[in-house]
């Protein structure tokens, strides 16, 4: 039996090899390229298994994944680091400039998306003959609602999409991660307790306020302590250690206290990224912090998208579940557009080109590492394969189809901003 270090070494090796192949062969955005190559490798393994069933490759790979048990690692370790890295690169001043729109999309929008996906998937699963309870569908709605800003913002910056819209997309993607994870945790706890929605709507709401509010308070406190510690020294190695301790310690303490670890690390990251780097660290330390956490973000996202593709080789691909996943794709687009429209309807009613903004927000709603991490953390049970397959269908579509076409869609929606000025052709 392999130990965790051997699994990590293999994961590093495969990620590096696939990234190298993507750089020289496909030249796609890193996450999309990793996903495509891993999917091709998984399909190849399935074909080999079909031609030579005695080889037992898929069975061996499935047993390896089960022994590795990535779920707790992804939920308890990866998520905190990913969320902090994302928050550290966000300028709070840009968020405050569109605070009401971002807040509405990250709270009301996520809640509407969760409910819409839950109801829609409940009907889809019934249609294909899969008996998935509404409580599990609510957990699925929460895990599939958070969006991934990494690929999106890189494309939009190159295409000169209005900076205000970039701020909305980035801010919503950052904040809806924490909100979606809180909802996922609450609904999954309800689903696994007795399989029914045992708590009242008021009880769920109060639990949500307690968990998110407590997480925000913990993040402010821990971030403040880290700020004071960093301000007292000027040694980037120690300050990097403090930032790592801030993430891991805050996330672990939040679990002990029963508040939201994701919300806590997002708040701590926003505090350190907007206040700490300006008043507590030197320019050299700021540069090291940015590079270290950018690398961490890229590396963890690469691991997650590699796992998406490789897990495709071991999923029990029942045709009923494949049909459900295929139907989940248009449902996710429709629910995304509807939730954005309803959440932003009371805001900026006179804003010009609002329909363009809603259209781009809808198409740029890529699902990525957060959704995969939550799906893989689902407990083993009769409904896990249905939810994981549906999640993979949506994530693969958004990362490959939406992700690779996003530049064309943005240029089509905002042609004037992306028209080359006269005289710049050379």
Per residue in 93-143, pLDDT tens? 777 778 888 888 988 999 999 999 999 999 999 999 998 999 999 999 999
Top-confidence residue, 277 or 358: 358
Token pair belonging to 13? 């090796």
Per-residue confidence (pLDDT) for residue 83, from 0 to 100: 85
User: Which domain CATH number covers 139?
Assistant: 1.20.1530.20
Residue 17 lies in a domain: no
Residue 417 three-state SS: coil
Tens digit of each residue's pLDDT (9 = 90 or more) over 198-242: 555 667 778 888 898 999 999 999 999 999 888 888 888 898 999
Residue 423 lies in a domain: no
Per-residue confidence (pLDDT) for residue 134, from 0 to 100: 93
Give the domain extent around 217.
69-413
Note the Cα 425 to chain centre separation in Å.
38
Per-residue confidence (pLDDT) for residue 75, from 0 to 100: 67
How many domains does the structure of the chain reveal?
1
Residue 268 lies in a domain: yes
Token pair belonging to 209? 């306020």
Query: CA–CA separation, 281 vs 421, rounded Å?
Result: 40
Residue 368 lies in a domain: yes
Query: CA–CA separation, 87 vs 335, rounded Å?
Result: 26
Instruction: Specify whether the CB–CB gap between 61 and 367 falls below 8 A.
Output: no
Note the Cα 235 to chain centre separation in Å.
32
CA angle, 139 as apex, 67 and 188 as ends, to 5°? 65
Tens digit of each residue's pLDDT (9 = 90 or more) over 371-419: 888 887 888 888 988 998 999 899 989 988 998 888 888 888 888 665 5
Cα–Cα distances in angstroms (integers) from residue 131 to residues 26, 135, 325, in the given order: 40, 12, 15
Residue 217 lies in a domain: yes
Top-confidence residue, 173 or 129: 129
Residue 33 lies in a domain: no
Query: CA–CA separation, 280 vs 80, rounded Å?
Result: 22
Residue 375 lies in a domain: yes
Average pLDDT over residues 11-32: 87
């Amino acid at each position: 039996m392999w130990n965790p270090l051997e699994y990590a070494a293999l994961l590093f090796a495969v990620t590096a090899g696939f990234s190298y192949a993507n750089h020289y062969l496909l030249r796609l955005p890193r996450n999309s390229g990793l996903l495509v190559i891993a999917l091709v490798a998984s399909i190849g393994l399935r074909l080999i298994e079909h031609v030579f069933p005695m080889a037992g490759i898929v069975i061996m790979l499935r047993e390896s994944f089960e022994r590795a048990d990535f779920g707790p690692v992804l939920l308890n370790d990866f998520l905190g680091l990913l969320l902090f890295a994302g928050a550290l690169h966000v300028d709070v001043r840009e968020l405050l400039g569109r605070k009401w729109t971002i807040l509405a999309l990250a709270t009301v929008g996520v809640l509407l998306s969760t409910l819409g996906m839950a109801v829609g998937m409940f009907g889809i699963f019934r249609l294909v003959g899969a008996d998935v309870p509404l409580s599990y569908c609510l957990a699925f709605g929460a895990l599939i609602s958070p969006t991934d800003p990494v690929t999106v913002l890189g494309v939009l910056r190159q295409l000169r999409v209005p900076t205000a819209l970039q701020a909305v997309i980035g801010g919503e993607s950052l904040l809806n991660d924490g909100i979606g994870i809180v909802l996922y945790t609450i609904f999954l706890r309800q689903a696994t307790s007795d399989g029914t929605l045992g708590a009242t709507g008021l009880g769920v709401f109060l639990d949500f306020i307690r968990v998110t509010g407590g997480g925000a308070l913990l993040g402010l406190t821990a971030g403040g302590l880290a700020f004071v510690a960093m301000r007292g020294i000027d040694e980037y190695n120690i300050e990097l250690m403090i930032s790592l301790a801030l993430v891991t310690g805050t996330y672990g303490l939040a679990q002990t206290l029963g508040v939201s670890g994701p919300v806590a690390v997002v708040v701590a990251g926003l505090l350190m990224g907007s206040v700490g780097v300006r008043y507590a660290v030197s320019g050299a330390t700021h540069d090291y912090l940015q590079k270290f956490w950018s690398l961490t973000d890229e590396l963890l996202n690469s691991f997650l998208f590699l796992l998406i593709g490789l897990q495709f080789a071991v999923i029990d691909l029942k045709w009923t579940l494949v049909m459900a996943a295929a139907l989940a794709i248009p449902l996710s687009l429709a629910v995304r557009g509807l939730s954005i429209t309803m959440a932003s309807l009371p805001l900026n009613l006179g804003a010009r080109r609002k329909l363009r903004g809603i259209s781009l927000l809808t198409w740029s709603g890529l699902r990525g590492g957060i959704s995969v991490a939550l799906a893989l953390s689902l407990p083993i049970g009769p409904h896990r394969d249905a939810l994981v397959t549906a999640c993979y269908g949506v994530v693969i579509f958004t990362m490959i189809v939406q992700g690779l076409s996003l530049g064309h869609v943005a240029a089509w929606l905002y042609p004037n901003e992306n028209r080359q000025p006269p005289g710049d052709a050379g």
